[in-house]
Each structure stands twice: as structure tokens, then as C-alpha cells.
Amino acid sequence: MSCFYYSLDVPGTLDSVARQVNETVRRRRRRDAGEDDYNIEILLGVDDSVVRFHGKEHVQNYLLTLMNIVNEIYHDESLGVHINVVLVRMIMLGYAKSISLIERGNPSRSLENVCRWAFVQQKGDPDHAEHHDHAIFLTRQGFGPTGMQGYAPVTGMCHPVRSCTLNHEDGFSSAFVVAHETGHVLGMEHDGQGNRCGDETTMGSVMAPLVQAAFHRYHWSMCSGQELKRYIHTYDCLLDDPFKHDWPQLPELPGINYSMDEQCRFDFGVGYKICTSFRTFDPCKQLWCSHPDNPYFCKTKKGPPLDGTECAPGKWCYKGHCMWKNPNQVKQDGAWGSWSKYGSCSRSCGTGVRFRTRQCNNPAPSNGGQDCPGVNYEYQLCNTDDCPKHFEDFRAQQCQLRNSHFEFQNAKHHWLPYEHPDSNKRCHLYCQSRETGDVAYMKQLVHDGTRCSYKDAYSICVRGECVVRICLNYMILDILKAALGDHEHKWLQAVSLNYTV
């Protein structure tokens, strides 16, 4: 068997491997700044005024829906940078703490209090699942002059005290306020103030001084994209791959869970419902609301109801229009099906490879949904016992099989194994003629389990790639497995399989 057999001090090795396992379990991959995705891991602080308005039993789903909308706003192509808004922690404050943080009529002091509170909540370990990059605080208390919707420092993302925003929550349109204020922390200025994008504000730019963006009409201005790109490479905290969090699954179209009456209540307060004093041709173009005490006084925030809101029997709102319900309109991300059984081994001796596969069909991605993350196959080594002497050279066997039928320059040859000098081609089958010395490419990959090089006993070809195999004495491997317990699979993934050469 061609494997490493480490000479090990078992107790010392167990300690070392345990440390590696713990690091593997905890560690997140940090990516290069040149990669496309940035992840803002969010601590969402919610004060008592928001909890009481929405109710303890409903507020979490409301907030998750709101943050999903913020994430969609940051996914708009006009931004020019792909940013994921990832909720890692949600804290709902009691009454006493809520009123101590918000000082009515004093936005700067209120923001300072909120940022200090968020700093205290921070998890010290950057690899903790709830370690946040940015804090978003929501309140229904008035913290500034009439009409002030949010307050935030310009730049400050990743800073321990300055990466925070204060936002007035008054319905799902608050998602644009949250996106706007977080935009400031990312380095974006108001459109038209110190830049040339003032003409984009009436078209629904997110960074307009007075936010007029709505669900059917919003974009990031050219200036916002340029300002973001000026700073984004300095925000190292956004390079962590986020942990998976088990928040409740929500429907793709947020309005499925919320009627027009409920959305009116969120926008304008208790008692407000859809305005029935006048009927528009299409109730999905704008959400008009009124209070029963004054039914003829109808109000709107100039935006449509959420996509998925029921607008008539069998119909829902979609992109500002009342349409027949069609599940095909819903974006569906793909999810993996179960693994197949492992297939047969590629070799009967000398270390082969066997595979198992899975399909991205549970469900399959549709309507622009994302593909499944990760790979669709796994492999493991098999039949690792040494071959008898006359069967040792697996590459030679594959070349020899071409003797009877592969013609080169109009003649048949006796083919010998040939190791290509280019390391990138060693898993492609090249053979050398015994008669002429010519080298021919057999137009296929070598079989899985073939050594990459005669000079290297520890690397084999798998699907055309050269990988290193690491084998441990089985007695020690069993000891390590027993010691690792529940983390055994993590260690096997991290230590014992493959490293691409």
C-alpha cells in the first residue's frame, strides 16, 4: 500500500489534531478582496415600541421580511458590487432600555447611545456565529425633527463603534431607509450633494436626500456605485463567509403573508386599512389607506403593495400590477437532493477511487434562483492494498490496451507509458511508441487512481486533477476517530482527503 505511515507520538498527535479540528469547526473562510461577494453580517436591534406595535408573536417574521427586502435592494445590479445583507443576531429590548437609548429630538445623542449599546453586544471572537460587522437599530420613537427617518455616520463600516445606524420603522418601506442609512456607513453621500447625481433622485435613487424609492421603482445612482467602490476594498470584515443561521423560512414573495390592510396598518398606524372611498383601476399600482374615523381622507406613501399581496380572488400584486397567481413568477433557489450510493472502485488494487453524486433537484433552481452551493460529487479511496508486481504500473496497462487498435501515422505500435513534463497534463493519457519513440496523446484522461508521477507515490489522478492522498496507520486512525467523536467528519473533510496540487 503506497501511503504515508507517520511515526506518531499518539497523545501529542491527538492534542494536535484536536486543535486542528476545533479550528476547522470554528474557522470561516476569508476571501481575497478581489472576489465578487461581500457579506455584511448584521446585528438587528429592535426597541420596545416596535415589538409592542407588531406584537411579540408576529414581530420576528415581520423583521425577517423587512431584512430580506433590504438584502434585495443591495442585490440590485445598479450598485455594481454584490453585497449580501446577512442577519446574524436579533435583540429585542425592553421598555426601560428602549427609552434610555432614544432621546427625543436629539438624533446625534440617540445614535451615539445606540452605537455604544451595539458595541457592548459584540461577540469578542470574530469566528463566533453571532459576531457582527454592522448594527441596525429600529424604533418607532421620534428621535429627531418631524420627518427624520434615519441617522448614520458617513463611512465607518467595520469600525467597532461607528458601524451602526438608527432607523425609524414605519412599515416595509422602511427597508429603503435602512438601505439608505447603511449606504452612508459604506461611504455613500446623498445624490446631488457634492456629486452630479441630483437628477436621479426623482427616479427613485436609494441615496436621494429625501428617500422616494419604492418597491416598483428603485436603483442605486452612478455616484453611489462610484463612492462605494472607493471604500469597499478597505472593509476587511466583509470578506468573511457567513455562518448558516436557522431563521424561519419565508415565502419568496413577501406579500403572501401580509394583506393590504395589514400593510396600511404598518405604514400609518393602528386602525388604518385599505381605502375604499375610491377605487383605482389597479389596486397594486399604489397602496392607498384610510382610517375608519375619516374614511374619505386617503393616504399613500406612493409605493405599491408588496409582491404577492392578494388583490382579488385568485390574483396577487406583482411589479405593481394585479395578476393571476402564477407560481412560476416566484424565484426558487436550488437545494441538493440526497447522495447516491458510492459506485464501483476504479481499480481492483493499488488504490482506486469511487464516487457518489447528488443532484440539485430538491427543488431545482427556477426563475432566476441560485444554483446549489458546493459540488455535486464526493469521492473516497478504495482497494488500497498493493497490487501484485506484474499489475503495478496502472498507466502502462492503459497504454498497452491501445496496442491492438490505436494507429499513429498509419501504423500500429507497442505503446509504453509516458509521463508528460507539463504537470498540468499528467492526468491526460500520453503514450510513447516503442518502435519510433514518438509520443501520442490518446485523447482521454487516465483512469482515476493512476499516479500523477512516477516520482511521487502520494498523488493520484481524480477526474483529470492531481490530488494528494494522505493515509494514516489504521490503528492510529481508529484512535483519532474515537477521540474526535462528533467532529470526526469535520476532521476527515479537513485533514484526510484531498489537496489539489
Annotated binding residues for Ca(2+), written as ranges, equal 41, 133, 237, 240
DSSP-derived letter for residue 385 is: S
Alpha helices in 85-173 (DSSP H): 95-101, 107-121
Query: What grid cell was written down for 455?
Result: 516520482
- H or E element, residue 182: helix 174-185
Q: What is the DSSP string of 208-239?
A: -SS---BTTB-B--HHHHHHHHHHGGG-GGGG
> Cis ω on the peptide bond leading into residue 417 (within 30° of 0)?
no
Whether residue 185 contacts residue 275, with contact meaning beta carbons closer than 8 Å, is answered with: no
Q: From start to end of 360-405, where are the E strands?
A: 377-382
**Secondary structure of residue 65 in the 3-state scheme:** helix
Strand-pair partners of 240: 30
Whether residue 339 contacts residue 356, with contact meaning beta carbons closer than 8 Å, is answered with: yes
- Closest Cα to residue 69, out of 311, 266, 306? 306
Compute the distance between CA of residue 474 and CA of residue 496 in angstroms, rounded to an integer. 12
CA angle 379, 381, 383 (to 5 degrees): 135
Compute the distance between CA of residue 318 and CA of residue 252 in angstroms, rounded to an integer. 12
Compute the distance between CA of residue 88 and CA of residue 200 in angstroms, rounded to an integer. 33
Whether residue 314 contacts residue 324, with contact meaning beta carbons closer than 8 Å, is answered with: yes
- Closest Cα to residue 341, out of 363, 361, 358? 358
CB atoms within 10 A of CB 155: 19
Whether 181 is catalytic is: yes
**Secondary structure of residue 164 in the 3-state scheme:** strand
Pairing of strands 407-408, 411-412: antiparallel
Q: Which of 35, 57, 181, 262 is catalytic?
A: 181
Query: What grid cell was written down for 57?
Result: 408573536
CB atoms within 10 A of CB 67: 21
The amino acid that residue 331 corresponds to is: K
Compute the distance between CA of residue 46 and CA of residue 328 in angstroms, rounded to an integer. 35
Compute the distance between CA of residue 65 and CA of residue 57 in angstroms, rounded to an integer. 14
Angle, to 10 degrees, between the axis of helix 474-484 and the axis of helix 10-26? 50
Active-site positions? 181
